Amino acid sequence: MNILIIIVTWNKKKYVLDLLKSITTLEHSNYSIDILVIDNASEDKTAEAIVANYPQVNLICNPENIGGTGGFNTGLKWAFAKDDYKYLWLLDNDVLVHEQALIELVNVLEKNPDIAIAGSTMLQLDYPWRVNEMGAFIDRVTGKLILNRHLETIPTWQGYSASELLNQKADLTKHLTYCQPYMDVEYVAAASLLINAKVAKQAGIWRDYFIHFDDVEWCLRIADMGYRVVVSAKSLIWHLSAIAKIPTWILYYDNRNVLDLLKNHGATKRDLKKLQGYILKKAAYYHIIGKPDLAQLHYDAVDDFNNKYYGKKDIKLTHNYQNNNEISQIFMDTKFKRIIVSWPVNIHAMGIQEAIVKSQIKRPELQIDWIPLPDGEILPKVPRARFVRPMPKSIFKRLLNYWRLRGNYDLVIQSDYQPSLFLSWLKADLLFVNDETFCLRPQPKFNNVLIAIWRYFKGKL
């Protein structure tokens, strides 16, 4: 029995090398493994590192980044042409695989001919004791993925790194209540997806989504062919968590692709119109908080879906994020003399406390005011800390307080994870910060908000 592992990578040299290292520890018995890596024109010398460290790996270098869809389709076409493999194992480039991850998936498919796809339980690489998903289901109206057993924890694993757990006994039926060895789901991520090669060839390549929802659509398509899709509680991988990442350009693909997915898998015209209205509502929200370029991505997604435009889109955002280690340039800019910071901004977790402290030492004229936590607790420990009164629970009183702050500041700092609609309207520039990056934006325009609201109601008619 031959199995082909297909990995798609782009500018993640360290991650893919760590993955290939974990693959070398896999347990397997009566089958051989080939590895195919598709490099989507990485600029970090990924291909050279793979050749130097793993010369036995088959490598295809695409001349440009054609996304996860294009990369996996390149691998699938290569596999279909060879026709030498019983199973294909699709892996993300930023996962680590448990030593029994593959053999447990093979066991499921070997014992159940009606199962075409078996996926691994995905745990978080940054919190290795936390389940990210054990397969998922799809809300056919909203397109949202309902992650099975999302964020359930394994207390006895706390304190261990993923690399320390790769060779430990890892049967989640012994750690999670009411957990079966495997269960039927609608979708498993191509972060770790084992499929019968004949069924894969029969189903064909992925729809041209470029990125996101392509593996979801494939699973639904194969289920429509009469096969089962399951997730194993004994096959484990660790995947880089997306919880701390703030979506930007990816919003276009998420919204466009989910519309196409639902259209092809049972959604009514009424449901699609309702979903488009929801997307337009999200666009209005982004206008209100001061991110008009992200609002435009939602409009483009709806328009391109209706015009049947798919594949890769040339996306150019008007405001780009920078790494937080460069944020000191903002605090040292003399045009910002009065700054207010929203309470959800965790300057410690975001790694910006040092930049704030240094700027206040070097700029005695700099005034930074802090909005305390809703319960009044004061957290930031910085020089010359000043605090405005806590925002009341009453929406009317809160609006009144925000109105009194209008025009008093040059810069408002907000958390990307929990922005305040009202704080975006203090007649000041906006600095959105998350755990990794920041983005400086001008204050929103009232006319843009009115147009966005009009377009939302027009879309509902």
330 in the same domain as 223: no
pTM to 2 decimal places = 0.93
End-to-end CA distance of the chain: give it in Å, rounded.
57
pLDDT of residue 244: 67
Give the domain CATH number at 81.
Answer: 3.90.550.60
Of 217, 239, 261, the one marking the end of a domain is 239
Q: What is the CA radius of gyration of the chain?
A: 25
Task: At 239, list the tokens.
Answer: 């995947």
Task: At 302, list the tokens.
Answer: 């709806």
pLDDT of residue 437: 95
For residue 245, is it within any domain?
no
For residue 28, is it within any domain?
yes
Name the more confident of 383 and 172: 172
The string of DSSP letters for 315-365 reads: ---SS--EEGGGTHHHHT-TT--EEEE-TT--TTTTT-HHHHHHHHHH-TT
For residue 63, is it within any domain?
yes
Q: Is 225 helix (H, G, I), strand (E, B) or coil?
A: coil
For residue 244, is it within any domain?
no
Distance CA 160, CA 96 (A): 14
134 in the same domain as 149: yes
408 touches 426 (CB < 8 A): yes
Give the domain CATH number at 387.
Answer: 3.40.50
For residue 79, is it within any domain?
yes
Average of per-residue pLDDT across 359-382: 82
Mean pLDDT, rounded, of the chain: 93
Distance CA 242, CA 323 (A): 17
280 in the same domain as 201: no
378: pLDDT strictly greater than 70: no
CA angle in degrees (0–180, nearest 5) for 243-344-448: 85
411 in the same domain as 286: no
141 in the same domain as 206: yes
For residue 395, is it within any domain?
yes
356 in the same domain as 435: yes
310 in the same domain as 225: no
423 in the same domain as 456: no
Closest CA to 143 of 206, 193, 213, 209: 213
202 in the same domain as 152: yes
pLDDT tens for 187-242 read 999 999 999 999 999 999 999 999 999 999 999 999 999 999 999 999 999 997 77
Average of per-residue pLDDT across 31-37: 95
Name the more confident of 192 and 395: 192
For residue 455, is it within any domain?
yes
Task: At 350, list the tokens.
Answer: 């975001």
336 in the same domain as 390: yes
The number of distinct structural domains making up the chain is 3
Q: Which domain holds residue 408?
A: 322-444
Of 219, 239, 259, the one marking the end of a domain is 239
139 touches 266 (CB < 8 A): no
30 in the same domain as 130: yes
379 in the same domain as 427: yes
Distance CA 280, CA 179 (A): 39
Give bridge partners of residue 448 from the DSSP assignment: none
pLDDT tens for 273-301 read 999 999 999 999 999 999 999 999 999 99
Pairing of strands 322-323, 367-370: unpaired
pLDDT tens for 120-142 read 999 999 899 999 999 999 998 88
